[in-house]
Amino acid sequence: PIVQKISGDSLSINGRTFTFDSVADVEATQLDIFEHVGVPLVENCLAGFNSSVFAYGQTGSGKTYTMWGPANSLAEENVAKEQQGLTPRVFERLFARIKEEQTKHSDQQLNYQCNCSFLEIYNEQVTDLLDPSQRNLQVEPK
């Protein structure tokens, strides 16, 4: 193999070592990725921070599988839970945590506002995946 995982935060490509926040290899499960990326993301959202996941890589490298799970996972209700990708797990955890917080603070009126965007950047074109007719979008900070 050209790419080898050396440790939890480094890998080697053709003998050159690169260090990252963390490295997941082919043995990593959807749950592993969720626990490492998704759980902190949800907790940061509940703490009031904007959060995002940026999936980068060449076509066919597994970005869609990591984010959603198998191709039929949204259409079929009986897709195994362990095959779910990061996105459905994050939403499930987010809404469960909101419910927990509302129950824990039932004496207060808590309001949550959730906004979500799914954007694709390909060939320097930004497309809204929730409304694919919206192409060549300009991304502006709020």
Tell whether 69 is in a known binding site: no
The response to whether 58 counts as a known ligand-binding position is yes
**Contact at 8 Å (CB) between 12 and 21?**
no
Q: In terms of Cα–Cα distance, which of 62, 54, 60, 56 is closest to 25?
A: 62
Nearest to 91 by CA among 69, 124, 121, 111: 69
* Residue 38 marked ligand-binding: no
Q: Is 22 annotated as a binding residue?
A: no
63 is in an annotated binding site: yes
Annotated binding site: 57-64
Annotated binding site for ATP: 57-64
